[in-house]
A and B are shown apart, each in its own frame.
Chain A
Amino acid sequence: MKTPVLAELGDVTGGFADAVADLLAHRVDHGVLTSIDRASAPFDAALWRSLVALGCLDVLAEPTATQLSVSVLAELGYAGLVSPLEPTLIASVLRRRLAGADAVPPETGRPVAVAVPVATGHCRVRLDVTRLVGGPVQVEWLGDAADLLVLARDGEAGYALVSVAPDTPELRATPVRGIDHRRLSVVEFDAVPVRSVLARHLRDGDCENTIAVVQLLRAAVVAGAGTRAAELTARHLVTRVQFGAPLARLQAPRQAVAEMAIELAALTGLVAQAATRVDEGDAVAEHHCRVAAIHAARAGERLLENAAQLHGGIGFMQEHLLHFFYRLGKAEQLHLGGVELLLDTAAKRLLPSVAAGWDWLLAEPRAAS
């Protein structure tokens, strides 16, 4: 099954993303998701190796890396699977955009964790000569990662991108349970020695620009999760008989399912568009990334709430798949920073250029006449 994101980007992703989709369809079922959710299963190294073998890390070296990344992440979202592939791809975005380093991390084949703020103003870690201090911050999949990339304050005006060893004792990590089943830790940096400094004196604007691309990757996960939730809901409506007929015959559920389809069509289109703009090196790619992220946060939530409502009690039970997507979507929204912060940050960064003259049709600044 292709997600709509894949359908939009079909020419670019070719058979690769289809192969990922096939793998996930065969490997990830309710039992797998449940075992991860109950923390009874260790990091699924076999699945990770399969994703790596398919080339999920190799895509990072491609000119269409962002489009390929969002395709894979949408497939993960569609499978309901939260995977260290997400922070690993985010780490690649940080490296490429801020450090110019090789897209593929040195520990090729191992997951990478990241500590990146939702906005630069929310950065809680600072670089003190050769050590990181500060926190707390949330880090996903820390225990399974070979590397931790941190975007930290660097003096008064700048930022630094540094790498630290995840198992260093000065890194005080407390495993916590979050809204969904991703491995999550709350981390304090108690003079953590830096493994390597990838970039220093980074400007605020460059960091915000990069954070926007990170947000796009999270939006892709929401698009995938939303797609699956919408499909589950449609299937439920045509099979669940109430009042003597399938629910699909009732007007109110039909109106709601249409609403979900409209939100989803816009979301997948916005994600695909933004990924294309990023890969083209577009000067206004940040604009499109933030637009996609905001729509993912707002519409994704509405979509998943509609799915829950239309499923009723059946979808509320853990034995049904829906709750994985409901929780995953909300988790991504919160890791994006929440709707209010997204809107406020985007407004500060985007509205001035729109006010200065915006070509709505080409979605770029209006050329001076």
Chain B
Amino acid sequence: MFPDIPAASRAFLGDLRGFLDRLPAELVAAAQAEYAADELEPGPASLDVWRRMGTDRWVGVTWPVAEGGRARPPIDGWLFAEEMAGRGLFAGGLTISSIAPTLIRVGTPKQRGELVDGMRTADVIFGVAYSEPEAGSDLAALRLRARPVDGGFQLDGVKIYTTCANIATHLWVAARTSVQPRQQDGISVFVVPTATPGITIRRLMTQADGRTNEVVFDGVRVPATALVGEVDHGWGIIRTALAFERALPYGVVALRLGELIGHLARAEAVQPVDGQRSKLMQLLVDVEACRVLGYQAAVGRATPAAASMNKVWLTELRQRMAATGLSLLGEWGTLGLGEPDAPLSGHYERMYRASVMRRFAAGANEIQREIVARAVLDAAR
């Protein structure tokens, strides 16, 4: 049966919804406003929601009990992520969706003990430091060096687009520890506290008014215990983390489409135009397809190719929806977030500016298609 949401998971979802419904309305509204403005960097209200949820163990529900989780099945993790996104609430970002499950899988007991519990309650927040000025989608071309020194490693180099570095307690750093014939080899992963001397964080502003960062590592010394996994064998860890990262929730896309359909159904000022209904219907179909692909990526097939399929479909739909939605809203759609006369609170204007990023972040969609193609063609050989 597909998609199978068993009774126990429906009950879990009901309990989660009950918890969320009991949060103070003002706090939720403030967190939703923060999320609408910037889905990647949590503001104070979002952090407050995160802490409250983590304290009651609603964050990391699929994690082992020993790590502070509830050992729920993968489908419950999917329901959690989708419910949060569907309410327009920050769900811990990459700290929770990507780094925590990766660390639980490959981290040392010491790393897990020091970090995972704090991630659940927003006391530990990660910025993910992969991209460099000369290594974007070709991540394996990264140059930031980590040299062995007494007692650990010294990191030197530059990372860019390290979102949340400015609020993070730690950085998840991909670094080159040796030069080998295959560039994927010789890469290692480190956990680096942002307060470590030698780290400089510089603000970069995006076209969507969101903040990301450049992070300069100048003689940054970390202990050997900062290494995640084995030295020179970090590529597999990065791929694991990226697969988690690409299993993006579609909930916020569904939320925004529901808002648009409701608005156009109600708004007397908006005159229906030819083709409007059909455009909305097509978006609805595409969102439903998104739900299916998201489920397959998170629960059903759970392969890297399935995650890439989900990422491609969702991110391209998001941009298509933003453009179509703005077009249907007409000239009032130009009004930005917070403007009193902006239809749908300006969500579509902001989504239009922000959505392009999702297509190239976490590996450009062309790379994702390459991952899918490899799986398909390998099966045909």
A358 at interface, CB cutoff 8 A: yes
Task: Assess whether A347 is in contact with B251, with CB atoms less than 8 Å apart.
Answer: no
**Which residues of chain A from 242 to 299 have any CB-CB distance to chain B below 8 Å in the complex?**
248, 251, 254-255, 257-262, 265-267, 269-270, 272-273, 276, 288, 291, 294-295, 298-299
- Considering the complex, give the chain B residue whose CB is closest to the CB of A231: B380
B376 touches A261 (CB 8 A): yes
Alpha-carbon separation in the docked complex, A85 to B81 (Å) = 42
- A360 partner, pick from B258, B293, B296, beta carbons under 8 A: B258
Is the beta-carbon distance between B1 and A363 smaller than 8 angstroms? no
In the complex, A298→B372 CA distance in Å?
A: 21
Tell me, rounded to whole Å, the shortest Cβ–Cβ distance linking A275 to chain B: 9
B contact patch SS:
helix
Say yes or no: B285 contacts A254, CB within 8 Å: no
When each residue 161-189 of chain B gets 1 if its CB lies under 8 Å from chain A and 0 otherwise, what string results? 00000000000000000000000000000
A344 to B254, CA, bound (A): 20
Cβ contact of A355, chosen from B13, B262, B281, B312, cutoff 8 A: B262
Of the four ranges (under 10, 10 to 19, 20 to 34, 35 or more), the interface on chain B belongs to 35 or more
In the bound complex, how far is the Cα of B369 from the Cα of A254, in angstroms? 8
| With A269-B293, A363-B291: A347-B2 Cβ-Cβ less than 8 Å | no
Task: Take A261-B372, A262-B372, A347-B277 as given contacts and tell me if A291 and B285 are in contact as well, using a CB distance cutoff of 8 Å.
Answer: yes
Chain B residue at minimum C-beta to C-beta distance from A247:
B377
Is A128 an interface residue, CB under 8 A from the partner? no
Contact of B370 among A12, A235, A237, A258 (CB under 8 A): A258
Q: How far is the CA of A287 from the CA of B381 in the complex (A)?
A: 39
| Beta-carbon contact of B292 and A258 below 8 Å | no
Q: Within 8 Å of chain B (Cβ to Cβ): is A119?
A: no
Please determine whether A360 and B255 come into contact, CB atoms closer than 8 angstroms: yes
Asked if B100 CB lies within 8 Å of chain A CBs, one says no
CA–CA, A364 to B86, complex, Å?
Answer: 14
| CB <8 Å contact, A354 and B284 | yes
The reply to whether B281 and A266 contact each other, CB–CB distance below 8 Å, is: no
User: Is residue B373 contacting chain A, with contact meaning CB distance below 8 A?
Assistant: yes
Q: Verify if B330 is at the interface (C-beta below 8 Å from A).
A: no
Listed from nearest, the 10 A-B pairs whose CB atoms lie closest are A269-B292, A360-B254, A234-B380, A258-B369, A347-B277, A266-B289, A258-B372, A254-B373, A355-B265, A347-B281
- Sample of 11 A–B contacts (CB below 8 Å): A251-B370, A258-B312, A258-B376, A262-B312, A266-B292, A267-B289, A295-B288, A343-B282, A347-B281, A350-B284, A360-B254
Q: Residues of B with Cβ closer than 8 Å to A?
A: 1-3, 5, 10, 13, 21, 79, 82-83, 86, 251, 254-255, 258, 261-262, 265-266, 277-278, 280-282, 284-285, 287-289, 291-293, 295-296, 300, 305-306, 309, 312-313, 366, 368-377, 379-381
